[in-house]
Amino acid sequence: MKRQASERAVEHVESGFVIGLGSGTTAALAIRLIGARLKAGELRDVLGVPTSLQAAQEAISSGIPLTTLDEHPELDLLIDGADQIDHELRAIKGGGGALLREKVVASSSRLVIVVADETKLTERLGVDCPVPVEVHPFAVRPVYMRLLKMGAKPRIRTGTGKLGPVVTDNGNLIIDVSFDEVSDPRRLEWSLKAIPGVLETGLFIDLIDLAYIGTQEGVRRLEGSVKGNLLG
pLDDT for 179-223, tens place per residue?
Answer: 877 889 999 999 999 999 999 999 999 999 999 999 988 999 999
pTM: 0.92
pLDDT of residue 225: 60
Same domain assignment for residues 102 and 137: no
Evaluate if residue 224 carries a pLDDT over 90. Answer: no
Is 14 among the residues known to form the active site?
A: no
Instruction: Give the residue with greater pLDDT, 4 vs 16.
Output: 16
In a domain, 232, yes or no: no
Q: Which domain holds residue 210?
A: 2-121+205-220
Do the strands 18-21 and 47-50 form a parallel or antiparallel pair, or are they unpaired?
parallel
Section 2-14 average pLDDT: 93
CATH of the domain at 182: 3.30.70.260
Same domain assignment for residues 211 and 104: yes
pLDDT of residue 162: 78
Catalytic residue, from 7, 14, 71, 102: name it: 102
- Binning pLDDT at 50, 70 and 90, where does residue 2 land? confident
pLDDT of residue 134: 98
Alpha carbon distance 147, 191 (integer Å): 10
Nearest to 121 by CA among 224, 207, 6, 211: 211
Terminal C-alpha separation, the chain: 22
Query: Lowest mean pLDDT: which of 59-63, 164-168, 190-194, 198-202?
Result: 164-168
Same domain assignment for residues 102 and 209: yes
